[in-house]
Amino acid sequence: MKFDDIFYYPFLAGTIYLFAVIIGRFIRWFLGLSKIDKIRIRKGFFSVKTLQSIWESIREGLLHFKMYRVNKLLGYMHMSFALGWFLLIVVGHIETSCYYGTLNFPFQHSIFYRYFITEQTDFPGHVFFAYAMEFLLFYVLSGVLLAYFKRFKSKLFGMKKTTRMRYGDHIALTSLWLIFPTRFFCEICSAGIYANGSPIFNAIGAFAGQYLPLESLLKPLWAFYSIDLGIFFCAMPYTRYMHIFAEINYIFLKNWGIRLKKRVNTFTMAEVYSCSRCGVCIDACQLNLAGIKNSQSVYVLKNIRNKNLTDEVLFNCLLCGKCQEICPVGIDVNNLRITQRIETTLQYNSSYDYLETGIAKKSDVVYFAGCMTHLTPAIKKAMLKILDQSGENYWFMDETKAPCCGRPLMLAGQFDAAQKLIDNNQKLILDSGAKTLVVSCPICYKVFKEDYMMPDVEVRHHSEYILDLVKQGKLTLKQSDKKIVYHDPCELGRGSGIYEQPRELLSYSNNLVPINNEKEKAMCCGGSLANLKISMAERNILSEQVMNEFASYNPDYVVTSCPLCKKTFAKTDILPVKDIAEVVVENIENKN
């Protein structure tokens, strides 16, 4: 057997194995989807969504725009690996087909071009190709160099922490790190012997030839390159590098409209495998501050993949959505985590048989205060004053008795139980014949908006509703010279996308100071009901940090639009905290 005929076998075996596993997984994921999801794929396949997905795959899979926006160095590193390697394959292929003048050539000649094509070539543009390939190689190598640095000094990248790895990850990482330096030495070696590279490489090769026995190094180097590629490809499906293919798959599925619908299915796996464990979510997580270091999204995804997710990790999350906002792959981590919670608590949902159907009062507007507003009576009082002043025909639904809205149960994964409360409340609201439902709590707002089936009822958060009243002239606000900062509640901001309405309402009468971490970057108050594991002491650390940040702007007070945020902040006793409704009531101009 000749060396030339067999040395590329490790590479070949690795490639075949890799694609067999990946295609197998894609098929399994597809088959595990629900019937409706399969119809969605069939419909989406021949639509503009597919084109969008192709563009998004190029943008995020190769160019890594989002990653670049989060962290420039990290973005460059990912781009050099992805785009550089991709172009090496493509340009290498074009170079080989130019050399042969046909597309029909042994495929290994394109991968190991400088090993096989040893004679002096003179097809048009051969020097250009040689330079292009070498440039691309250097481009990837620059990324590899950054990767070395990042592993040992992640702070240079502005990252406080990188993801902890498993044993298999180390094998894949080492083989990946070796691929491109090996290739570099291979090409130098070939260029030194056959002078088949660019003039620069030929010169370097000739120089190296004076000191090194290139002839006897040539075959071991190329063989090592082939084996290294083979090892990396075999390790890929079992390590984080699976994300290279899974991410593309996820982009397509996501754009075709596949989502997790309160239950775990194979789309969970499609999401889990597309996590590149870049570690961006770790730094975004506020729990670090309280010393909680094992429940960040990347670790949850990893635990799901390794099938060792514990309740302690799964439920130790504020579901504030900061990691989801920043995730370069755009994984829907909050939804993923909630479906995992639903799955683990399936066996113990409550039935709430004691619920009675209340009697609805006919009205135009229903006001639902929610449990948290009842715990902060100042907000309730302010809301009632506003509703009275506006002259609306309203009904205070949970004035004396009403069940919870269901969102806290939903956050704890108790979906079936939450559904019982939802059904009860929904019937009452529909019976009232109201067209508008006003809630003064973002936690309630989210569940009313997303999980209640009330197509004719418009759900309004009180900040939206009061703004409407002011715009319609039902309320007039006077000027005040108070300097305030506004805190975006997680469920209202990132959760429901309401950033501008409260700000517009506040700026009617106050001097609203913009702050650094606001809107999408807003911090969680630390009181989130989504976290079942965090202790009160840890919560206090989070709230104090946020309040101290607010205090650095020297406002007269902090305004929020969530009773839970207010309650949590008020406890720190750093600054006075008010709800948006209270601020409005202070500034109402009495029409006399």
Partner 1 sequence: MDFGFAPIETRSIDIDIFDSRILKYVIKYEPSLLVCLSCGGCTATCSAGNLTDFNVRRMQLMLRRGETENLQTEINKCMLCGKCLLVCPRGVNLRNVVMLIKKALVIYKNQEK
User: Which residues form the interface with partner 1 (CB under 8 A)?
Assistant: 311-312, 315, 345, 347-348, 350-352, 354-356, 371-372, 374-375, 401-404, 408-409, 412, 414, 421, 527, 529, 532-537, 564, 567
Nearer to partner 1, 371 or 558 (CB): 371
Closest CA to 528 of 515, 516, 543: 543
Give least dist CB 491 to partner 1, A.
13
Give least dist CB 375 to partner 1, A.
5
Closest CA to 117 of 90, 133, 95, 94: 95
| Alpha helices in 499-560, H assignment, sequence order | 500-507, 536-551
Nearer to partner 1, 302 or 420 (CB): 420
Asked whether 505 and 580 are in contact (CB, 8 A), the reply is yes
Task: For residue 308, count other CB atoms closer than 10 A to its CB.
Answer: 9
Give the SS3 label for residue 441.
coil
Distances (CA, A) of 395 to 341, 400, 433: 35, 12, 11
Nearer to partner 1, 10 or 403 (CB): 403
Closest CA to 131 of 96, 170, 163, 91: 91
Give least dist CB 263 to partner 1, A.
19
Amino acid at 381: K
Nearer to partner 1, 416 or 504 (CB): 416
Give least dist CB 341 to partner 1, A.
10
Phi and psi at residue 222, in whole multiples of 5°?
-65, -35
Closest CA to 580 of 563, 564, 559: 559
Whole-angstrom Cα distance, residue 471 to residue 399?
27
Give least dist CB 582 to partner 1, A.
18
Give least dist CB 495 to partner 1, A.
16
Whole-angstrom Cα distance, residue 556 to residue 549?
14
| Sequential DSSP letters for 19-42 | HHHHHHHHHHHHHTS-HHHHHHHH
Nearer to partner 1, 304 or 441 (CB): 441
Give least dist CB 549 to partner 1, A.
22
Nearer to partner 1, 21 or 289 (CB): 289
Give the SS3 label for residue 322.
helix
Nearer to partner 1, 242 or 369 (CB): 369
Give least dist CB 342 to partner 1, A.
13
Nearer to partner 1, 535 or 548 (CB): 535
